[in-house]
Amino acid sequence: MSERDEFDSFQYFLEFTVTVSSSNLNNYFYSEHQQYLYDTIKELHEKGLGYRKISNWFNERDIKTPRGSEFKGNYVFSILKKGRIREERLNRESEWNIHSVKIVFC
Q: What is the DSSP string of the chain?
A: --HHHHHHTS-EEEEEEEEEE-GGGSPPPPPHHHHHHHHHHHHHHHTT--HHHHHHHHHHTTPPPTTSPPP-HHHHHHHHHHHHHHHHHHHSPPEEEEEEEEEEE-
pLDDT at 90: 77
Q: Would you kindly state where each structural domain of the chain is located, as residue ranges?
A: 3-105
Tens digits of pLDDT across the chain (106 residues): 555 555 556 666 777 666 665 555 555 678 899 999 999 999 999 999 999 999 999 999 999 998 999 999 999 999 999 999 888 877 777 666 666 666 666 5
At 106 the pLDDT is 59
Q: What's residue 33's pLDDT?
A: 92
The torsion angle over the Cα atoms of residues 70, 72, 78 and 79, rounded to 10 degrees, is 50
SS3 sequence of 67-81: CCCCCCHHHHHHHHH
